[in-house]
Structure 1
Amino acid sequence: MTDALAPLHAAALRRRHLLALAAGGLALPAARAASYPDRPIKLVVGYPPGGSVDATARQLADVLGPKLKASIVIDNQGGAAGALGAQRVATSAADGYTLLLGSSNELAATGVLNRAQKYDPMKDFTPIGLVSSAPVLLVAGPKAGFKTLAEMVDGVKRNPGKYSYGSSGVGSTLHFAGELMKQRAGLFMTHIPYRGVAPLTNDLAGGAIELAMLSVPGAQPFLQSGRLTALGVTGGQRLKALPQVPALAEHPLLKGYEMSGWFALVGPKGLPADVSGRLQAALHESLADPVLRQRMEDTGAYPAGPRDDLAKLMREDIARFAKLADYAHMRE
């Protein structure tokens, strides 16, 4: 090779090298998507076992795992109405191996009142998809003596300040559901926050408090045993699972009332598009499974559809909760 041609030859080699690197780079996502997942996936639940979020996570994992050809391990991290578990996922590696089965609590509601919350639901997660929505129950314990929604509204209005109701925590969806009920019907009750379903239901059944907002799975064993009484459901209509329980909106003072929680699958921010796409496809396939859909409906939930927009729902509910917090003077 002549000295005159040497620079041209070197330039050609550099171009080939750059093209090879570019081709390799373009192939990385496809290779990663093909190999993901190649080890167990940790699905964090920000609540102790036994509640609606935990039940939803386990129902989903039973179907989603086989779709992904991977084992899914449930990791319960209870506290702060789900916010502690959410914080753990928000700071995890964005590789698809640590996910959150979250709820409207930690993904929309809690940050409205908790100024110390260390994550932003809209900035610190990658939305994968909505799993289901679920109204909750207004439930009375034996101390209250109420058997119907009408008795409760009348009794609380005649005795302002006498009764208390419990929820799964300050700023939780159940808390907002109770405050919206108080606002609409003109009721004065004290809110008692709890760290989980078990202590809340135990105190309610034992007479420490009179009323509570509870998830359907959390309430059902106590309803079946007769220890608690379901007075109303917070959705706009009655549940298929509990057709005998009226919607709160059926009461004249609560016309138009509706407050449902929801459950969603998210990952840390920066989740690679090929990994999130793989998870989205597997989630949508799982939610079409008739057995999973029936199990969700049996626990008072409505399975999500493929067109449900999780990010849009999160934005709308954050704005809704903030407006209610201001109206009801819930902020400190």
Structure 2
Amino acid sequence: MQKPAFAPALSLLIALAVPASQAMAQAAPYPQRPITLVVGYPAGGSTDLVARTLALDLAARLGQPVVVENAGGAGGSIGAQKVASATPDGYTLLVGANNEMAINGLVRKSVKYSLKNFTPIGLLGSQPLVLTTTPTSGIKSTADFLRSAKSRPGQMTYGSSGVGTALHVAGEMVKQQGGVFLTHIPYRGTGPLTTDLIGGNLDLGVFVMSSALPLIRSGKLVALGTTESKRSAVLPNVPALSETPALKNVDIGVWFVLVGPSGMPAPVVARLKTALTETLAAQDYRKTMEASGSVVPTGQPDLDKYLVSETEKYRKIVEFANIKDE
């Protein structure tokens, strides 16, 4: 049977239509479907709070749902590796913090990713850590703490949320700067750390501000000092540790960043950066973040350089304290 005369022309049109439809799909403005924000910790922590606050505002600005996925384990490394290995299309992003972005590679042999495996998008905020004790400890100030620590070297204990965490590194910075010997007690998260500290099984505890704030305000813990160079706006009567001459160089906090896999298309990165700039300026976002003790940036650093410099800062402390988490 002879084919219709228009058959070759029809076949040509179909052949041309397929690549044309693909090109249209590729040219469709980002995003076209829901975006996942991966958090390398269980729900309820400081990084999770930042991610959920960010997700609400980003969703409104991008016109697509933004879903938080908790992939906890290995100090945030499991979640970070998930994003580092993801397709770089802008639909899988990481809300990361110090641990997984700067510290874990220094202390964990199991970490297979590095900064080069990520596309930096922006700094979301930061908050200080706080050195705490209990009302019954007899320690009322930083001076009391240093005097007690020097009088019984190695006998005072401080707890953190785990080996190689930002809380642990901050404690080691205090030891290094203050010239004191404290015994570190690692915990699997701030829950058991809080229980033991309030129960009198520890002398001191290092917390992220957002975790410590309710306990300080309720009188269950006493804040001796915050770890950034300036006092925290949510605890203005608590001195920065650096106000004590022996601890003048203590300056460390927890920061949060938004990154994606390496190799993301430039237009996608630009769209995300624009949406993030708008979010950081939004009153609802700033109010929620600041209420938890965070400082929201008014401008953006060169995030590549920022992450490199922060990693080098932690490297010095990790080497000083010989921190390893096999």
C-alpha separation between the residues in 1 aligned to 2:72 and 2:159? 17
In the TM superposition, residue 143 of structure 1 has moved relative to its aligned partner by 6.1
Partner SS for 2:198: helix
- Counterpart pick for 2:171 among 168, 175, 178: 178
Note if contact 2:34-2:67 (Cα within 8 Å) is conserved in structure 1.
yes
Match of 2:183 in 1: 190
- Aligned letter for 2:196? D
Unaligned runs of 5+ in 2: 1-14
C-alpha separation between the residues in 2 aligned to 1:42 and 1:28? 21
Give the alignment's TM-score, normalised by structure 1. 0.86
In the TM superposition, residue 24 of structure 1 has moved relative to its aligned partner by 8.8
In the TM superposition, residue 324 of structure 1 has moved relative to its aligned partner by 2.2
Residues 266-304 of structure 1: per-residue CA shift (max 9 Å, x gap): 112222222222111111110011221122222221112
Residues 119-170 of structure 1: per-residue CA shift (max 9 Å, x gap): 11x1211111111122111111356432222211111111111122122222
- Counterpart pick for 2:86 among 84, 92, 95: 92
Partner SS for 2:155: coil
Matched, 1:221 2:217: no
Note if contact 2:94-2:260 (Cα within 8 Å) is conserved in structure 1.
yes
Cα distance change of structure 1 residues 258 and 227 upon mapping to structure 2, 3 Å threshold? same
In the TM superposition, residue 316 of structure 1 has moved relative to its aligned partner by 0.6
Matched, 1:289 2:277: no
Match of 2:239 in 1: 246
- Counterpart pick for 2:105 among 108, 111, 114: 111
C-alpha separation between the residues in 1 aligned to 2:160 and 2:317? 17
Cα distance change of structure 1 residues 110 and 24 upon mapping to structure 2, 3 Å threshold? same
C-alpha separation between the residues in 1 aligned to 2:137 and 2:82? 39
In the TM superposition, residue 77 of structure 1 has moved relative to its aligned partner by 2.2
CA RMSD of aligned residues (A): 2.3
- Counterpart pick for 1:54 among 48, 51, 55: 48
C-alpha separation between the residues in 2 aligned to 1:176 and 1:166? 11
In the TM superposition, residue 198 of structure 1 has moved relative to its aligned partner by 2.0
Partner SS for 2:116: coil
Matched, 1:72 2:52: no
In the TM superposition, residue 188 of structure 1 has moved relative to its aligned partner by 0.9
Note if contact 2:105-2:111 (Cα within 8 Å) is conserved in structure 1.
yes
Match of 1:81 in 2: 75
Residues 36-74 of structure 1: per-residue CA shift (max 9 Å, x gap): 222222211112222221121122122111111122222
Matched, 1:265 2:258: yes
Match of 2:150 in 1: 157
- Aligned letter for 1:327? F
Identity %: 46
Give the alignment's TM-score, normalised by structure 2. 0.88
Question: How many corresponding residue pairs?
Answer: 310
Residues 187-241 of structure 1: per-residue CA shift (max 9 Å, x gap): 1111222332222222222223221211111112211221111110001011111
Note if contact 1:139-1:229 (Cα within 8 Å) is conserved in structure 2.
yes
Note if contact 1:44-1:77 (Cα within 8 Å) is conserved in structure 2.
yes
Note if contact 1:110-1:170 (Cα within 8 Å) is conserved in structure 2.
no
